[in-house]
Structure 1
Amino acid sequence: MSEPRYALYFCPQQSSMLYRFGCRWLGRDVVTGADLEQPDLFAISPERLRSATASPRRYGFHATLKPPFRLADGLGEADLVEAAQRFAGGLTAFEAPPLVLRDLAGFLALQLSEPSVEMEMLAAACVTGLDHFRAPPSAAEIARRRSSGLTPRHEELLARWGYPFVMEAFRFHMTLTERLEEEERALFEEVLDPMVDRFAGEKLTVDSIALYREPAPGQPFMLLTYLPFGGK
């Protein structure tokens, strides 16, 4: 029987414009699991929009803080939820810089308009604070990470934390597309720019994180529970 995987992500509150935008763009509500009708775009066919958002749709609208992991032996989902709630209860809310649309190595994603020490500290705390729940990655998972080419420092991070792009290698991003060729990427940017402009000037309120769950390999991730911060 396949083991589920879990992850700590940032996800905006369901009532926010950002949440509604992200879920509709990707075509899936990460809380309810419902398929959503994606925007009707003059320049991009529904079929192409569907295929260009396939991978981010499976993972759900989010920004990764602690990458997906299986549970260590002897630990269950209820243990993780309880510990994650305690962990989040010790965190303090903050405001991050506004989001902007950027090209991230061929993918389009929302990123912070400028660096945020608070966000970097949050991500590092998520990686370390619940790491005793993480089972070591399999040999296949390690090989897959290495296939993209890792620096010596990335290798150290992979060995210690099970993922190479954490700690100082962390970059906050909310993925919106698969990797696109340059000409098509420009078209997607042209379509996305006015949508992002609706919230691009607003600071990002970070007063909770979320625990996501992948029931089995290849299945869609779902938001299991929001984890509100205790400090204001």
Structure 2
Amino acid sequence: MTPYRVALYWAPDTDDPLHAAGSAWLGRDAATGDALPQPPLPGLDLAEATADPRGYGLHATLKPPFRLANGYAAARDATAALAARIAPFDLPPLAVHDLDGFLALRETAPCPALHAFADTCVEALDAHRAPATEAEIARRRPERLPARQRAHLDRWGYPYVFEEWRFHVTLTRRLEPEEKAVILPAVTEHLGDAPGIARRVGAISLFVQPAPGEPFTIAERLPLRG
């Protein structure tokens, strides 16, 4: 069955401690689709605070979710061909940050290869992206976007690409200050040393969404072979 949408993401390998810890924090394993018990957080509803990122799975966006223009097999083959041209590279240690009110894992040092990786994914798969509908564009509130982000939305279907892109593994919805005061130390303790371990970026994770509103799961990890 052709999925409703696909996306190109970075996601930790299943044997990476970050996969287990981060999936448990979100309450779902995107590799298996299984629901997971979340750590207790007295006084706050962690399930609600993580509902949005839980639906997308533990990941960092390379090419945002898109509807298919040419079918799934063509997009999958194009992703495999792209992965074959890119060499694996080191990912800097990650750490929990406040990203405009959201908590997310971000890199702790500049990584030009990471940005080039995301840029290439956006461009290389764009022929397989069905154009954004008026409703999809409207949901981004284009009237509130700066000119460069609005131009990216019109051209690429998403405002936060190229120089507007920031690597991030989302861990919560946007939080109020009093929520952040509780959740920031809790997620930092829960993840422990896992974000900061040495790791390589060695694959593009192809995520699929079977139908509107359903969660994304990992369909395949396509190894980098350049």
TM-score range, shorter chain: over 0.9
Distance 2:167 2:186 in 1: 22
CA distance in 1, matches of 2:195, 2:138: 38
- Structure 2 residue identity aligned to 1:33: G
Give distance in 2, aligned partners of 1:206 and 1:127. Answer: 17
Residues 139-148 or 161-170, more deviating: 139-148
Residue of structure 2 in register with 1:12 after alignment: 12
Q: How far, CA to CA, are the matches of 2:196 and 2:11 in structure 1? A: 18
> 118-127 or 192-201, which moves further after superposition?
192-201
> Residues of 2 paired with 1:78 and 1:55: CA distance?
28
Match of 2:126 among 106, 131, 143: 131
The residue that corresponds to 1:120 in the other structure is: 115
**The residue matched to 1:68 in structure 2 has which SS?**
strand
SS of equivalent residue, structure 1 residue 155: helix
Aligned to 2:56: 59
Cα gap change, 1:209 to 1:182, in 2 (>3 Å)? same
Structure 1 match to 2:90: 95
Which residue of 168, 191, 195 maps to 2:190? 195
- Counterpart residue number, 1:24: 24
2:101 pairs with one of 101, 106, 127: 106
Partner secondary structure for residue 40 of structure 1: coil
Q: Which runs of 4+ in 1 moved over 4 A?
A: none
* 1:187 alignment partner, SS class: helix
Alignment check: 8 A CA contact 1:99 1:203 kept: no
Query: One-letter code of the match for 1:120?
Result: H
Extract unaligned runs of 5+ from structure 1. none
- Scaled by the length of structure 2, what TM-score is found? 0.95
Q: Percent identity among equivalent residues? A: 46
Letter in 2 for 1:126: C
Contact 2:105 2:195 (C-alpha < 8 Å) held by counterparts: no
What count of residue pairs does the alignment treat as equivalent? 225
Q: TM-score, normalised by structure 1?
A: 0.92
In the alignment, which of 177, 181, 185 is matched to residue 186 of structure 1? 181
Distance 1:201 1:60 in 2: 20
Q: By how many angstroms is 1:117 displaced?
A: 0.5
Amino acid in the other structure paired with 1:61 = L
1:96 touches 1:206 (CA, 8 Å); kept in 2? yes
Q: Secondary structure of the equivalent of 2:196?
A: coil
> Does the CA-based 8 Å contact 1:8-1:65 persist in structure 2?
yes
